[in-house]
A = this chain, B = another copy of it.
Amino acid sequence: MSKKKNVTFDDIAKFTNFSKTTISRYFNDPDSLTLENQAIISHALEELNYKENKVAKILANGKTEFIGIIIPSLFNHYYSEMLNQILLTYETFGYKFLVFVGNEREETERRYIEELMAYKIEGMIILSYTLSSRELAGLQIPIVTIEREDEYVCSVNTDNYMGAVQAVSLLAGKGCDVLIHTNSPISSNLPAYGRIRGFLDVCLEKNLRHQILYKPFAHNYDLTQIYLQEILDELETKYKGMKKGIFVSNDDHANILLNLLVRKYGRLPDDYLIIGFDNSPVSTGAVFPISTVGQQIDRIAYEAVKLLVDLMNERKKRRPVPLREPIHKVVPPVLLRRATTEDHSE
């Protein structure tokens, strides 16, 4: 009673007068036993209170059913919701997730990956953007990245370009005199760069007056607010009296911009239309609900895990066919029209 060692197949075998092999088959191929014997074993399991040991199973058959995840800080809602949706796929695919929070230091993330490999994970999902896709590709393990540089690895991303096109088209359709896009200077090999391309392409094609305002990426609220105030000041003077359609790089920034305006005017002035990106909770929780380009996080997460599962399955075959080219899946965004792009003149 005191030394309660775990009940093993051996114990069950002795108890039932079967062999370990038969017990194993009871779990992995029950049909190969007579119903009668199944019942006997089933009863023994109850009697002995058997608990399975997957660690031993792994060692024997090599299948951990582990997927490793490296994700940047969950402070950002986009990442936490993505992780949420990824974890929920356990119900569909049965894979378990070992999660590390990347801290933007290369050496640290390499350590995380080593640790994951030591636990014999079958695949990885990378949202962290610290390590190059080239380095990741060298890891010799199925990998899918989400919304980051992905030249040498498989990935699932939002169709950022399409999102920008939808946003700008909405603003243009509302009769804006000038279209503004605010963003940080980002590398053209990032999926999010599509937002800039989409903005420019539509403006040029439709021959719309437009301007992109770049500010450095700020990691904290106060600095971001300062940058956006600067942008606002510029707009107020430069485009005075004109109807301004502003496509902000994300909902957090759109919310700050909206707040600056509401604090100044007590409402959103008629000559300002705002649209953000992400459909994060701030966009609905804002003082006036913010129009936004919604990322379908649930679908992205599902597609990412599904793609990874496919890759992992291929690898288990007797003659795996390696991918010639990385697969890049794209999930369409959803335009959400809310108060900040409706006519708000009373």
Q: Give chain A's interface residue range (CB within 8 Å of chain B).
A: 35 or more
B74 x A101 contact (CB < 8 A): no
Given the interface pairs A55-B119, A118-B54, the reply to whether A83 lies near B74 with Cβ below 8 Å is: yes
Compute how far the CA of A266 lies from the CA of B288 in the bound complex, rounded to whole angstroms: 11
A99 x B101 contact (CB < 8 A): no
Given the interface pairs A87-B100, A88-B101, A96-B98, the reply to whether A285 lies near B255 with Cβ below 8 Å is: yes
Given the interface pairs A256-B285, A285-B282, the reply to whether A80 lies near B90 with Cβ below 8 Å is: no
Compute how far the CA of A90 lies from the CA of B262 in the bound complex, rounded to whole angstroms: 43
Compute how far the CA of A54 lies from the CA of B116 in the bound complex, rounded to whole angstroms: 10
CB of A76 to closest CB in B, whole Å: 9
A55 x B287 contact (CB < 8 A): no
> Counting CB contacts under 8 A, is A73 at the interface?
yes
Q: Is the interface of A mostly helix, strand, loop or mixed?
A: helix
CB of A222 to closest CB in B, whole Å: 9
Which residues of A, 75-99, contact B by the 8 Å Cβ criterion? 75, 77, 80-81, 83-84, 87-88, 90, 96-99
A87 x B59 contact (CB < 8 A): no
The residue from B87, B103, B256 contacting A101, defined by CB atoms under 8 A apart: B87
Which residues of A, 243-294, contact B by the 8 Å Cβ criterion? 252, 255-256, 258-259, 262-263, 266-267, 281-282, 284-288
> Counting CB contacts under 8 A, is A52 at the interface?
yes
CB of A339 to closest CB in B, whole Å: 10
* Residues of chain B with a CB closer than 8 A to A53's CB: 118, 120
Most buried by B among A51, A118, A255: A118
Closest to A284 in B: B221
Most buried by B among A221, A284, A285: A285
Residues of A that sit less than 8 Å from B by CB: 51-56, 58-59, 64, 73-75, 77, 80-81, 83-84, 87-88, 90, 96-101, 103, 115, 117-120, 221, 252, 255-256, 258-259, 262-263, 266-267, 281-282, 284-288
Q: Report, nearest first, the 8 A-B pairs whose CB atoms are least far apart.
A: A266-B266, A80-B80, A74-B84, A287-B287, A54-B118, A87-B101, A74-B80, A259-B287
